[in-house]
Structure 1
Amino acid sequence: MKYELRDNKIYILHEALATTATSSKQDQPQRVDVKGVVADSNGEPIIGANISIPGTTTGTITDYDGNFALTVPRGSVLHFSYIGYNSQEIRITDQTTLNVVMTEDSEMLDELVVVGYGVQKKSVVTAAISRVTAEELNTNRPSRVEDALKGKVSGVQITQSSGQPGSDSKFRIRGVGTVNNSDPLFIVDGMEVGGGINYLNPTDIQSVEILKDAASSAIYGARGANGVVLVTTKSGQEGKVQVNYDMSYGWQNPWKYKEVLNAQEYMVIMNESDINDGNMPRYSHDQIATIGKGTDWQKETFYKNAPVQSHQVSISGGSPKIKYFISLGYFDQAGIVGGDYNKSNYSRWSLRSNNTYEVFEDINRSFLNKVTAGVNVGYSRGKSTGVETNSEYGSILGSAVTFSPLVPVYASEDDAASILASRPHAVTDSQGRVFSLPPSGFQEIANPIGMLNQPSSGVNNDDKFVGTFWGEIDVLPGLKFRSSYGVDLSFWGYDAHTFPYFLASQGKDVQFSSVQSEMNRGFRWQLENYFSYNNTFNDVHNLSFVLGQSASKYTARNLGGSDRDLLETDPIKAQINSAIADRKEERAWGGTFGHNGVTTASYFGRIDYNYAERYMLQATVRQDGSSNFGSNNKWGVFPSFSA
């Protein structure tokens, strides 16, 4: 017999229980109360340093005096970390008091981040700025830049409008900032660009800085109200010519299917519905037993192993006088719904050339001793097709999860003959097979495979050219003058056609042919001139400032037209109908035209001071004038201060 004394009570244990209790007690690691102080190399306490046991949820942070206290298992490892300092680990044995000295991570603190109209050391930035490097961007071989930024930056939410290849994303920095438009301001190599940054090839990007608060974005005035995204593309480096080629090829599949009824389960449920309504069940036991699984519309609809591929080639190098970077990229993605029917695809070609020229340099001069110029240009052409998205009725996916499993993909020969007799425009495949029609009662739902074969198409085309031409002069030691002129030229359009077809009585019965075409053009020019100064006095007083002006103008035009009852039914020649003179008045359907623009002028300045890179002050102000403002309020002032 075994017994154990616990809390002044005697417990009689069976042999097995005694053995278990003893071994369990022996296996449990002893816990140690650890306390201590975390400080830097100068003895100053570090407030908010993280102390944790890797792989567990056990942890704490230091208080205002750098103190901490934690109970941990003997033999565990404590991990100490803090932004700007090197992490370290200490194994706990018998020690109960720790004095931890953390050293500065010089590489991190010396890292430069791009801010508005300049760069700063990360260690002296007083505003909320996050940086994503080229290595971080291309970890998962993203198709587009905004996809690459997902999950990389705190406070930034990027959501795709749909699963369609090439679909736009919503970019939000710290939530919704303004009522009408919450998109941030996008700056690429100093040039403001419209429509986001998805036209860029992710492999062409050197870094992305995101300005998230007023202190960092005030230098851009009213346009920075929702945050600013600064993109710096790659440039050539002095050295031998480097040629790089990178490619990837993959496949896409739906990660899950909706759970729906098969044919037998569907029959049983329909019989139960009939009985509950006081009617006789419509399906017999024999019918249920012999029907099988029926049609799995989701598996019929999805494109299995939809391909996605990308190719990039770049050439870079340079001499002390000339540095260059040239790249060519191609990306192609087929959608998992409609990609095999050329109904949902996205492709993009991109071309970039960044060049820097040293025009003049004389190190023996203290005035106007260096002149540098550069050209950064990029071109992108995108093409996309798509199916209807985000709709439970009338869409392909909506029908794929709601269409009856009792209906086959193709109509029987007898049914096909009957359908064609009454509906000559019934949809058929390339072999002439007629697609099944929905049973009565299925409103706004049609055969999803028939929808993929219906005689209609829509193509989006996007062309974008962004170029920046700049020059920089070293006026005095620490003082530079920079002037730049940039353009953003965009063309985008949509071409679509539809010919008579029949798939269902509601929503899928088109009696006439139609064609639609839209063309849009946007052009922005931007001229900026500014002085920048950066110097250190007595090794501890660091002063820098930026002072300059900016002017820009944006104009946009759009033209669209549509027509119906086409005389030419070849999809390739559908647009030719508009040129046919013998037209009936009722065939003319409609057209649109629009023109708008805005002109802005701005003055801006920023001053930064820090003492020994420990105490920092920053003040920023920008004055914006816009043709969109009222006649009595043409100008607005946007200041900020941070420390």
Structure 2
Amino acid sequence: SWLVTLRTLFLAFLILAASATLNVQAAGIKIANPTKTNKLPKILVKGKVSDKSTGETLTGVSVRVKGANIGTVTNASGEFSLNVDENNILVFTYIGYKSTEVKITGNTTLDIQLEKSENSLEEVVLVGYGTVKRTDLTGSIASLQGKELEDQPNFRTDQALQGRVAGVVVQTNSGGPSAGVTIRIRGANSLTYGNDPLIIVDGIQNASIGTINPNDIKSIDVLKDAAALSVYGARGTNGVILITTKSGRESPFTVAYDSFVSSDRVRKRLGILDAKTYATVLNESQVANGYNPIFTQNEVDALGKGTDWQDEIFQTGATQSHNLSISGFSDKISYYVSGNVLDRTGVIINSAYRQYSFRSNLNIKATSKLTFALNTFASYDINHSGDPTGAVNSALSWSPTKPVYESNGKYSQPGGGVGPNGVYNPVAVAKEIVDDRYNKSFTFAPSAEYQITPDLKFKSLAAYKVIDRFSGYFNNQVANAGPASAIAGSTSMSQYTSLQNSNILTYDKKISDHSINITAVYETLQDQYRGSDQSAQGVPINLGYNGLSYATTTPYPQPRNEIVNTATRSLMGRIN
């Protein structure tokens, strides 16, 4: 299975790391604990960022807290505001300028002046099917280097972008351990169609940014305006994120281990009535509306605080990430191989997420003109939860006068004139509902590059990608004490495969102080989606969602099967 294979590969790397006697570079363990309760109140820091030499204000400067995923960007007037803790260090970064760090020691109004970087104009950035010096750049492109992510406890690449790139808005979709994000580049462009940007990893299109290990990233370039996006046509309407992974060319031989552990909890809970106050208010409401009280005075006096349902469903979540990589190069070969294990428990009971990933980048210089490359990536992730949304909604409305379990050991049920009748025990909703999701992905991408003349080269890339998804849902009717005939389950399976072939011819000539760059691209992309789902009732309780074929009730809706094939063929030319 995929899980056994990934575990075997990861164990192999551990054994190799233990036996290596060469130059070993080991990163220390990073521990982040954002849940300390003795922190001082937040401080609102405001300020303005300008160019040191001209005094002009700078728009889109990244302002973030060092060592944390907290940040913002300056507005059109170069101004910013951010809530931080005292003694935090703010890091100011902007393309073409040196980064600046400022420690917050009481001054809440800052005047930051950034100095231009001498080497910034010589920096090379990706522009789509090629690279260009920033001095020759005409479009709007923001860049983020992998080194800027190394000092952060990031477990997802998409979340690592938050507050780091001007014009890019990253929003987390939920508080679950596998929560994805929504990325918008310069806002939404469509009311009826998708607004997600095109993700390209090492030239491979339609990649999933959430599965990429942040430790594997060398650089991220974000194409934002029409000039930069034109080479991708309609696919680049919502922006393009170009990700380049590490190749192992930085040092002869390196074994690196990186790990971090962090904890999470709900920062602020809503204030709710305790059982005695709740019963008193309910009795007063009953009397005011001409009804008899629900509780006697003796019952009210004996209630006390009752059940705090938020305490019952919330817990302290934990995240641990372990990453091991081996990289190096020689005259003919460079390589980068990494394995990562991510394990998370959520802040709601019965929620957990685990991900295994493996990446291998190999480059071979066959001759002075011919170079081969092979990039391989595999990942497997498991997400398990109950019904967290339903549990939170129930916890905010369920009566504190009810216990979690009745005297017979079963979950307490709605009724008795207290609380809503259509909402069920929050603990039962969180624990008894089953919602499992499994995702497997594999990418195999060989490529070859031939230097035809000193100024002319040709590169061809062939990439095969497959993504398998499975989800299973099961409601055993324990939460609502329903009949066996109502026990319901459903499954959904899908497979996405794609085959991409990109052929790039590049002519790059320098003539005195001038240069000319011509790029021609011919590209084909074929993909197929297969999906099926089914649901049923009367499922044997001991079989879960795997027992749909033994259900006693005819499935409704009927099982669905779907196959969708698409193909695109593209031609592109560019002259700089």
What TM bracket, shorter-length normalisation?
Answer: 0.7 to 0.9
Matched, 1:397 2:392: yes
What displacement does 1:516 show?
A: 2.4
Quote the Cα distance in structure 1 between the aligned partners of 2:405 and 2:93: 64
Secondary structure of residue in 1 paired with 2:252: strand
Over aligned residues, Cα RMSD in angstroms?
A: 3.2
1:202 Cα offset (Å): 1.4
Cα distance in 2 between the residues matched to 1:559 and 1:280:
54
Which of the residues 48, 56, 59 maps onto 1:48? 56
Please list every run of 5 or more consecutive structure 2 residues that lacks an aligned counterpart in the other structure.
Answer: 1-50, 60-73, 78-91, 101-112
- Report how far residue 458 of structure 1 moved: 2.4
Change over 3 Å in CA distance of 1:470–1:257 after alignment to 2: same
Are 2:492 and 1:518 aligned? yes
Distance, in Å, in 2 between the alignment partners of 1:290 and 1:585 is 46
Aligned to 1:310: 321
The alignment partner of 2:280 has SS state of helix
Q: Which residue of 2 aligns with 1:436?
A: 412
3-state DSSP of counterpart to 2:267? coil
Q: In structure 2, what is the equivalent of residue 200 of structure 1?
A: 212
**Which of 417, 425, 436 lines up with 1:459 in the alignment?**
436
What letter corresponds to residue 538 of structure 1 in structure 2?
S
**Partner Cα separation in structure 1 for residue 222 and residue 476 of structure 2:** 47
Q: Show the counterpart of 1:95.
A: none
8 Å contact 1:501–1:510 — kept in the other structure? no
Whole-angstrom distance in 1 between the partners of 2:312 and 2:340: 34
CA distance change for structure 1 residues 372 and 292 in 2, over 3 Å: closer, same or farther?
same
- Structure 1 residues 587 and 538, CA gap change in structure 2 (3 angstroms): closer
- CA–CA separation in structure 2 for the residues paired with 1:308 and 1:103: 38
Do the aligned partners of 2:335 and 2:361 also contact (CA within 8 Å) in 1?
A: yes
Could you list the per-position Cα deviations for residues 209-238 of structure 1 after superposition, in whole angstroms to 9, with x for gaps in the alignment?
111111111101110011101111111116
Deviates more, 1:476-485 or 1:132-141: 132-141
Kindly provide the CA deviation profile for residues 334-362 of structure 1, in whole angstroms up to 9, marking residues without a partner as x. 111123xxxx211110000001110101x
Measured in 2, the distance between the counterparts of 1:382 and 1:184 equals 23
Q: Taking structure 1 as reference, are residues 521 and 297 closer, same or farther at Cα in structure 2, changes over 3 Å only?
A: same
Q: Does structure 1 retain, via aligned residues, the 8 Å contact 2:468–2:494?
A: yes
CA distance in 2, matches of 1:320, 1:158: 41
For residues 353 and 487 of structure 2, the distance between their equivalents in structure 1, rounded to whole angstroms, comes to 26
Correspondence for 2:424 among 434, 446, 451: 446
Match among 337, 347, 360 for residue 354 of structure 2: 347
Contact map agreement 1:137 1:149 (CA 8 A) in 2: no
Identify which of 502, 508, 519 aligns with 1:534.
508
How many Å apart are 1:495 and its aligned residue? 2.2
Q: Deviations over 1:186-223 (max 9, x none)?
A: 111001125x3111111111111111111111101110
Instruction: State the secondary structure of the residue aligned to 1:126.
Output: coil
Alpha-carbon distance, 1:571 to partner: 3.0
Give the CA deviation at 1:604: 0.4
After TM superposition, give the deviation of residue 319 of structure 1 in Å: 0.4
> What is residue 494 of structure 1 aligned with on the other side?
471
Q: Return closer, same or farther for 1:188/1:404 CA change in 2, 3 Å cut-off.
A: same
Distance 1:246 1:106, change over 3 A: same
The aligned amino acid for 2:411 is: F
Q: Match for residue 196 of structure 2?
A: 183
Distance, in Å, in 1 between the alignment partners of 2:510 and 2:270 is 64
Name the structure 2 match of 1:243: 255
1:575 aligns to 2:546 (yes or no): yes
2:344 alignment counterpart? 333
Letter of the aligned partner of 1:435 in structure 2? Y
- Rounded to whole Å, the distance in 1 between the matches of 2:488 and 2:172 is 30
**Shift of residue 167 of structure 1?**
2.7
Normalised to the residue count of structure 2, the TM-score between the two structures is 0.77
With 436-445 and 148-157 compared, the bigger mean Cα shift is at 436-445
Distance 2:149 2:278 in 1: 47
Q: Partners in 2 of 1:547 and 1:139 — Cα distance?
A: 39
- Counterpart of 1:117? 129
1:597 pairs, out of 562, 565, 569, with 565
Could you tell me which residue of structure 2 aligns to residue 385 of structure 1? 384
Q: Give me the whole-angstrom Cα distance separating, in 2, the residues matched to 1:49 and 1:293.
A: 56
CA contact (8 A) 2:158 2:210 kept: yes
Task: Give the Cα separation in 1 of the matches to 2:243 and 2:385.
Answer: 29
Quickly say closer, same or farther: Cα 1:263–1:274, change in 2 above 3 A: same
Partner of 2:403: 408
Offset at residue 496 of structure 1 (A): 3.0
Unaligned runs of 5+ in 1: 1-37, 41-45, 52-58, 63-79, 89-100, 362-369, 417-432, 609-643
Please report how far the alpha carbon of residue 106 of structure 1 lies from its aligned counterpart in structure 2 after TM superposition: 2.2
Equivalent pair of 1:536/1:542 in contact (CA under 8 Å): yes
Evaluate the alpha carbon distance shift between residue 242 and residue 328 of structure 1 in structure 2; reply closer, same or farther with a 3 A threshold. Answer: same
Q: How many residues align?
A: 486
Query: Identity of paired residues, percent?
Result: 30
- TM normalised by structure 1 equals 0.70
Amino acid at match of 2:337: I
The match for 2:86 is none
**1:413-465 CA-partner distances (Å, limit 9, x unpaired):** xxx3xxxxxxxxxxxxxxxx2122223452221111122342x4221111111
